[in-house]
Amino acid sequence: RLLYNLEVNGSNYLKEMFGSGIGWCNFVSLNTIIPYSFMAMFLLVALSDDFKNIKINKFQKCIISLIVVGIVTLIFVALYFQWTNNNIKSIDGVQGRYFIPLLPMAGILIASIKKIKLNVVGLNIPKIIAYVGMILQFQFIMQVYISNI
């Protein structure tokens, strides 16, 4: 059931983790560009060469990976017993926000794998990413505010 759920609803969990569906029953439905932009920003920051001091050996990578997989499994197991009725193929009640605490560990794993040089002559890419993040947050707040009027 866990793999079936990840296959069917995995993209929804990712979008919800980065701000797509807010509130129960998705009272506020955001433009899909916002979660995808936040995902891209997360990956750019994690892969940037600003974190070149992060050195993780294979054992530490395995431990962090096991922790992430264990937490994801426990989330699904808990909601299987709490929310899911018998004879249903998928596990009910799982939301993307439950995976937000895993983002720092995922960022550390991603940062230890590959580095991208973001320095372009005359441009401060991390600063541009910060400005884009602020603009997206402002748009996010405006969408929430306008939808509640």
- The rounded distance, in Å, linking the Cα atoms of 37 and 101 is 19
Residue 85 has phi, psi (to 5 degrees) of: -80, 160
pTM for this entry: 0.75
pLDDT digits (tens, 9 = 90+) for 22-60: 555 555 566 677 778 888 888 887 887 766 677 788 999
Rounded to 5 degrees, what angle do the CA atoms 90, 96, 65 make?
A: 90
Question: When comparing pLDDT for 87 and 103, which is higher?
Answer: 103
- The rounded distance, in Å, linking the Cα atoms of 140 and 149 is 15
Q: Which residue, 60, 56, 42, 54, is CA-closest to 107?
A: 42
- The rounded distance, in Å, linking the Cα atoms of 49 and 95 is 32
Q: Considering the chain, what is the average pLDDT of its residues?
A: 81
